[in-house]
Structure 1
Amino acid sequence: MPQYYHQYKIQLLQNSVNSIVEDSKFYNIDELEERLYFLSKKQNVAIVLTNNKGYVMFGKNENHIRNKYTRNIPMYNQLKEYNISAVIKLKNSNELYHLDIVMPLQTIDEVNTVLRNIMPFIIVSAFLIALLGAYIYSKTITKPLIEIIDKEREEEKKRKEFIATISHELKTPITIISGQLEGMIYNIGKYKDRETYLRKSYDSTQDLKALVDEMMEVSKGEILGKDLKFEVINFSDLLKNLANRQSYLIEDKNQNLIYEVQENLSIKADKEKITKAINNLVNNAIKYSPKNQNIIIRAYKSKASKTVVLEVENTGITIEEKYLKEVFNPFFRVEKSRNRKTGGSGLGLYIVSQILKSHDLYYKIESKKNSVVFTIYF
C-alpha cells in the first residue's frame, strides 16, 4: 500500500506540474502565483518560483533552509522528500522562471505505521464479521434448506412404509380368495361346499374393496389436502344426521347412543371433509366398543374460549398410554392380529387426522378408566 500510494502521489504531482507548464503561456505572473498557491494547499507541497536572477517570486527558498539545517542531521532521521523542477515561460515575457517543488513523503510512511498498528484489530473485526455473517447465513438460508431436505426425507420414508404396509394389507385378502377359489376349482376337501366358500370369497372381496376405497381416500386427501372449500355449517344438524346414519350399526351391537349436542352450533369448515372425519370417528367408536356399551356424542360451545367443542366417547375399552400417539399412523391397530371382524384397516383415524390438520384444528385422544374420548376444538 505505501508503495502504491507513493506512486499515486508522485504521478498526481507530476500531472499537475505538467499542466501548469503547459498552461503558463496563457498566464501572467499573478495568475501563475494563484495557480501555485492552490497547488501547494491541495497537495501539501512546498513551492519556490524564481526568475533568472535567482530572486524568489513565490514561496520560500526551501532548498536554502534545508541545506542549512539538515547537514548535521543523520541520514536515517532526515525527512523523505520528492523533488520536481520545471522551467516556465509566461505570456508577453521572454524571461524564463524556475519552478522547484518539494513533496514530503514522511506522512505516507506514518500512515503505513498506523495501519500496521491497527492491523490486529482489523483482522479480529473481520473475523468476527465473518462469523456473524456465517451465522446469519446458516440461520436464514442453510438451516431452512436442511429442514426442507430432512422433511422430504421423512416424507419419502413415510411413503415407502405406507406402500410396504399397503402391499401387506392387500396380500392377505388376495391370498385368502386365491386359496378358496383354487380349492373349489379342484374340489379339495371342505372346499367342495362351494356355496359356503363362494360366500366367504365374496366377503373377502368386500373387505378388499373397502380397503382399496380407504386407500383411495387417503391418496385423495394427500393430493387435495389444501383444496378446501370453507363454509359456515350448521354443526348441530350435521351431527344429528351422522348419528342417524350410524343408528343401524349401534342397534346391531345393542349399544346405547347418548346424544348431548347443543342446538344451533355452527362452525366454518369444508363440509364434505369434516363430515367424512366425524363419520369415521363415530364409526370407529362403534366398531371398537363391545356390545351393550355406550357411544357418547357431545358438542357444546365453550364459554371461556368461545370455541365449539366436539367429544366422541366410547365405553368398555381403553388404550394403553404408549399407543395413544400411534393410533393416527396409517394401518396401525392396537389389536395386533388385525382381524377384520374386530376392527378396520387402521386407516380411519389416519384419515381423520389428515383432514383435521388440513383445517388447522387442534384435536386429542384420551384414554380414561373405562372409555376412550376423542376431542376436536373448532
Structure 2
Amino acid sequence: MRRKGIRFKIFMVTAALLVVSALLIYLTLYFMLPGYYKNIKQSRLESSFSELVKQIDGVSAADAIPLMAKFGQEHNAALMIRDKEGQGYYIPPSYRGMNGWLSRNASYLGMRKQLEAGRALDSRDVMKGPGDGNGSGQNMHMLSVDKTIRFAESDDPYTLSVDAPLQPIGEAADVILLFLPYMLIPILLIAVGGALIYSRLIARPLLSLNRVAKRLAKLDFSVTKPALNTKDELGELSLSLSKLAVNLQLTMGELQDANAQLKSDIEQEREQEAKRREFVATISHELKTPITAVSGQLEAMIANVGSYRDRDRYLRQSYTIMQDMDKLVHEILELSKLESRDFRPLMRKVDLSELVRESMNNLSYLAGVKQLRLEVELPEEAMITADERLMSKAVANIITNAVQYSGDAERVVVRLSEEYRAADEGSEQQVKSLHPWYRLEVLNTGVQVEESKLPRLFEPFYRVEQSRSRSTGGSGLGLYIVSKVLDAHGAEYSIANTAEGVRFSVRVQGAA
C-alpha cells in the first residue's frame, strides 16, 4: 500500500474516524450519562411520587403506609413522614415490619403514640443510610421530593419526603472510565480492520479507473469495454471513459488520415513548385536560344559581316525562328489556360471522325515527304461531347507526333472504333442502350521508346532526344498539352510499346 496512494489515504482517514468516533461515544457516555440518568430518574421519581400522593392523600394511615413501603421498595427510596413539629417516622427501602405494627395499632392515636415512642428523626437523620446509623452514606448523591398529605384520622397536615440515591450510576461511570484502557484494543482492531476493508472496497474501482486513465494518457485507446459494471457514479464514469476511448480512437484515426493527407498535399505542393521552377527555367532556355540566334543574325546583317551580307537568306531564317517562337508562346498560353482554376471547356457535340480526317489531311504533305503509308479506319460518324478546339488540337498533336517520329517508309495506322463497357448484369439490349465509348488508336511503326521514359512523355518540355534540336523534334509540350486536354474531358489515355512500334490509345465517352 503506497503511502501517497488513495488506498492508504482512505485507510488512514477511515481508521482515524472510527477511533475518534468510538472515543467520542465512550467519553460521551462517561460525561453525559450521569446527568441524563439524573434527569430521567428525577422526572420519573417526581411523576411516581405525585401518583403516590394522589393515592394516599385523605386515606387512613393503615392504607397509606403499605403503599408508601411498596413505593420505597420499587424505587429504592427512603420515605419520611413528618408532622408540623418536625417529628417523623423513617420508612427505609427494605422496610417489612410496618404491616404487623399497623395490624395492632390501626387508629391514628395508636400511630401517633408509636411515633412518639419510636425514634424521633430530624432532617439530618434522613441523610443516613438505610438501617445504618454510623453515617456511612454522608457523601451519597440523593434525589429528594417533598409533598404535603393528610390522613383520614386527622386534619393535621404531614410532610411526606422521598430520598432516592444516585450512587449506582456514579459507580457505573467510574467503571466505564476504568474500563477504557481495555476497550482501546478492540476499538483499534475494529477501526483498522473496518478501515482496511472499506479502503479496499472504495479504492479498488478507483484504481481500475486510474489504470484505464493511464492507458488513455499513453494514447492506448484499446479500452473499449467498461472497467466497472456497477450502476453508480463510478460505473457511469467507467462507461464514459470507454466511450471517450472509442471517440479518441476514431478522432486519432481521422487526425492520422488528415495528417497523412496533409503530408501528401505538402509533398505534391513541393513537387508542383519544383515543376514550376523547372518549367520556368525550361521556358527561359527555350526562348533565350532563338532570341539569341535572331539577335546575332540581325546584328551581323546590320554590320554586313561575311555571309550575312546575303540578308534575304538570313531574314528568312530569322522569320522561321520567330515563327517557332510564336508557336511556343501560343503553346505556353494554351497551357496557362488549361492549368487555370477558372478554366472550363466549352462542351458541345463534336464529330471525332471529322477531327481525325482534318488532322490526317493537314499531315499528308509531311507524310509524303517521309514516304510514310497512312492507314485510316474511321466510322462514318463518332459523336462525342467535347470542346472542339481543344480536342482538335489534342488529336492533331497525337497524329503529328506519330508522323514526325516515324522512320522513312514506315506506316502510321489511325483507327477509331466504337465499343461498350462490359456490364455485370443485364441483357445485351440493355448494354446496347448505354452510351457508346470510342477508342482512338494511333500506331507508328519502326520505332521504340525506352520503358523508363514512357511515363515521362507527358511531362512538359520532356523529349526522348536530349539534344533539343528543332530539326529532330518540337518543344516537348505537345503530349503535355494532350494530357491536359484529355484530363479536362475525362478521357482515358495511354502510350505503350508494341511489337510493331509505339501505340497511343484514347478512350472517350460518346455523346448522349
Task: Verify same fold: TM over 0.5.
Answer: yes
Give the one of 274, 292, 295 matched to 1:178: 295
**Could you tell which deviates more after superposition, 167-176 or 314-323?**
314-323
Letter in 1 for 2:206: L
Letter in 1 for 2:498: K
Q: Do the aligned partners of residues 335 and 118 (structure 1) sit closer, same or farther apart at CA in structure 2, a change above 3 Å counting? A: closer
Counterpart for residue 318 of structure 1: 448
Residues 1:150 and 2:267 are matched in the alignment: yes
CA contact (8 A) 2:352 2:382 kept: yes
Q: Do the aligned partners of residues 336 and 118 (structure 1) sit closer, same or farther apart at CA in structure 2, a change above 3 Å counting? A: closer
1:151 deviates by 1.3
Written as runs of structure 1 = structure 2, the 5 A alignment for 1:104-119 is 110-116=201-207, 119=210
List runs of 5+ in structure 1 lacking aligned partners: 11-49, 56-66, 82-103
1:142 deviates by 1.5
Give the one of 260, 273, 277 matched to 2:390: 273
Letter in 2 for 1:112: A
Q: Do the aligned partners of residues 108 and 285 (structure 1) sit closer, same or farther apart at CA in structure 2, a change above 3 Å counting? A: same
1:105 deviates by 12
Partner Cα separation in structure 2 for residue 160 and residue 154 of structure 1: 10
Partner Cα separation in structure 2 for residue 301 and residue 155 of structure 1: 37
Q: Do the aligned partners of residues 233 and 107 (structure 1) sit closer, same or farther apart at CA in structure 2, a change above 3 Å counting? A: farther
Give the one of 311, 319, 323 matched to 1:202: 319
Counterpart for residue 403 of structure 2: 286
Partner Cα separation in structure 2 for residue 274 and residue 225 of structure 1: 19
String of CA shifts for 1:303-333, please: whole Å, max 9, x gaps. 5645311001222322222221121111111
Q: Do the aligned partners of residues 228 and 248 (structure 1) sit closer, same or farther apart at CA in structure 2, a change above 3 Å counting? A: same
String of CA shifts for 1:77-132, please: whole Å, max 9, x gaps. 32899xxxxxxxxxxxxxxxxxxxxxx99857731344235533442355312783
Greater percentage in strand: 1
Written as runs of structure 1 = structure 2, the 5 A alignment for 1:298-377 is 298-302=415-419, 305=422, 307-377=437-507
Q: Do the aligned partners of residues 53 and 161 (structure 1) sit closer, same or farther apart at CA in structure 2, a change above 3 Å counting? A: farther
1:180 deviates by 1.0
Moved over 6 A (4+): 1-4
1:250 deviates by 3.1
Letter in 2 for 1:175: T
Greater C-alpha Rg: 2
CA contact (8 A) 2:378 2:417 kept: yes
Partner Cα separation in structure 1 for residue 183 and residue 210 of structure 2: 34
Q: Do the aligned partners of residues 184 and 192 (structure 1) sit closer, same or farther apart at CA in structure 2, a change above 3 Å counting? A: same
TM-score, length of structure 1 as denominator length: 0.69
CA contact (8 A) 2:492 2:507 kept: yes
Letter in 1 for 2:293: I
TM-score, length of structure 2 as denominator length: 0.52
CA contact (8 A) 2:337 2:343 kept: no
Partner Cα separation in structure 2 for residue 79 and residue 175 of structure 1: 101
Please tell me the root mean square deviation across aligned C-alpha atoms, in Å.
3.6
CA contact (8 A) 2:402 2:412 kept: yes
Q: Secondary structure at the match of 2:476?
A: coil
Partner Cα separation in structure 1 for residue 314 and residue 185 of structure 2: 127
Partner Cα separation in structure 1 for residue 209 and residue 312 of structure 2: 99
Partner Cα separation in structure 2 for residue 53 and residue 230 of structure 1: 110
